Amino acid sequence: MQKIFNPLFVAIAAICGILAGSIITERQGERITRTHKKLDNKIDMLLNLVNLQYVDKVDIDSLVEQSIPKILEELDPHTVYVPAKDLQMVNDELEGSFSGIGVQFNIQNDTVMIVSVISGGPSEKLGILPGDRIVKVNDTLFVGESINNEKVMHKLRGPKGTHVTLGVKRQSSDSLLTFDITRGDVPVNSVDAHFMMGNHTGYVKVGKFGATTYSEFVHALEELQEKGANEFIVDLRGNSGGFLEAASYMINEFLHAGDMIVYTEGKAQKRQDIRADGRGMFQQYPLAVLIDEWSASASEIFAGAMQDNDRGTIIGRRSFGKGLVQQQITLNDSSAIRLTVARYYTPSGRCIQKPYGDKSKYQQEVFDRYSSGEIYNQDSMKTSGDTVKYYTVGNRVVYGGGGIMPDIFVPYDTAYNSAYYTKLVNSGILYDFAFRYSDEHRQLFNSFGSYKAADEYLKKEPLFDRVLDFAEAKNIKRNLSQAEHSKRKITQLVRSYILRNIYGENVFYEVFHEDDPVVKEALKALKKGSK
């Protein structure tokens, strides 16, 4: 489920994704696993001594589990240990699918509420609908205060071909509905949205770089092209990265034969150049790329390749600054290490990795951009001390060592912010209100011919007053002056949430970006470039 948070909450969520990093290939990781599986060393000797000679009985497996992360902490911030119990879920995020029943859910009033049914998944085929409440799983009551996201995922996901029986309460039915679902492959989309902005501009929002991202991306571009798009906006804001290969294939669509995409190099990794093969279908289309402080890794590879080749305009704020590449190496017990094996360099030779000698400062660095005013003021933008000049193919000066600097800086939008608005967002009140509203009016929305007709209806509804009443009933004290200051932002976000619950992600972004200053700047840049 997607929610919109203030900068601090976005930061906390995004840092987890960025630390996972980019992965070159698992095949190389498997080779390393075989090479080092039988390595004897001082740590093995120590564990053996503790096991045989220590005064008390020790759980050696538990000791190893606790020790590995501490050892890896001495390396870079992106080398991490993934326990066996977490590996499948971690891999699912990038593999493009997982096995389950195919729904997005939210927990409301101690009940599992179906927010949307994933197209092509098992639940859609059986007729489960948004708004359904799951109250029984395998004939056992599944409601109450003990229900949480982890328990729901454990119950609903499972091996392909296995069965789960759901007892579902639907508003239009007096009796409980029973569905016997065979778990199957559920697609995980990494292109969050694509739609036309006006008659000629195609917008594509990429959430991560996974196994299916390239095919999703090209499909989105082709669909927009058929609708008349002759220029594109690629939105990588908040995208923490993923597979290097996916980013490279996507970049290849826009560059000419021989153009450098990226190169990687490490102590045990010879320099590897990745260049465009000239077969890209969108080489002549004007392009704008949107980034922010949470665009990391593969996102920075994409933005850096476009910038260094003078191929597109980079718009937004300085990116995260992660220029390290990981390989996933599977261990004997099916746990894994994501080990940093190389640095990547943009075509001009920049390594945009920011310093990580002091780990506490590294983790804090993006938060410091908020407190220092960097995200609000271009003059406060820093380069982590790197003053070396690099040059694009058009001889423009660019810098490395701390992220990709945008060609056009757009500050974080605070025009309608207030403490009251922040409290509404962070408490989840706006999201909860929108879910209840869409659930109660689902039949009405189904009668509209299009989302635009539904949106016109919502614009005439007293949503603002209803939200304030709803928040007050939830013990959030009304502050009318601050609420009035944030009224436009409150109502726009609520409309976006309501329409997404009915019509999906594309509509959410279409409505949410109506007043987006970064998107507006991208449209201006594309228009200027076409003259």
Strand order in the sheet with 313-316: 191-197, 201-206, 231-235, 287-291, 313-316, 408-409
pTM for the complete prediction?
0.86
pLDDT at 531: 42
- How high is the mean pLDDT in each 10-residue block of the chain (531 residues)? 46 55 53 52 85 90 89 90 83 76 82 82 83 88 84 85 90 83 86 94 95 95 97 96 94 97 93 96 97 94 97 95 91 90 95 86 85 84 67 91 91 91 90 88 88 94 95 93 95 94 90 93 88 42
Query: Among the CATH numbers 3.50.50.60, 3.90.226.10, 3.30.930.10, 3.40.1030.10, which is that of 191-326+342-413?
Result: 3.90.226.10
Say how far apart CA 304 and CA 311 lie, in whole Å: 10
User: For residue 2, what pLDDT is reported?
Assistant: 43
Instruction: For residue 282, give both structure tokens.
Output: 């969108």
- What stretch of H or E contains 365? helix 359-372
The rounded Cα 147 to chain-centroid distance in angstroms is 25
Residues with catalytic annotation? 297, 308, 322
pLDDT at 16: 53
So what's the pLDDT on residue 1?
40
Helices 244-252 and 213-226 cross at an angle (nearest 10°) of: 30
201-216 residues labelled b (16+ CB within 10 A) or e (exposed)? bbbbbbbbbbbbbbeb
What torsion, rounded to 10 degrees, do the Cα atoms 36, 38, 43, 47 define?
A: 140
What pLDDT is stored for residue 207 in this prediction?
A: 92
Pairing of strands 324-330, 22-23: parallel
- Please write the tens of the pLDDT for every residue from 231-288: 999 999 999 999 999 999 999 999 999 999 999 999 988 999 999 999 999 999 999 9
Which DSSP state fits 176? P
Percent of the residues in the chain that have a pLDDT greater than 90, as a whole number: 50
Structure tokens at 417: 């912010």
> 207-246, pLDDT tens digit by residue?
999 999 999 999 999 999 999 999 999 999 999 999 999 9
Instruction: Report the alpha-carbon distance of residue 358 to residue 454 in Å, rounded.
Output: 52
State the pLDDT at residue 116.
80
Q: What is the pLDDT of residue 26?
A: 46
Domain 97-187: which CATH number of 3.30.1490.190, 2.30.42.10, 3.40.50.300, 3.40.50.2300: 2.30.42.10
- Residue-wise pLDDT for 76-112, tens only, equals 999 999 888 888 877 877 776 778 898 888 887 788 8
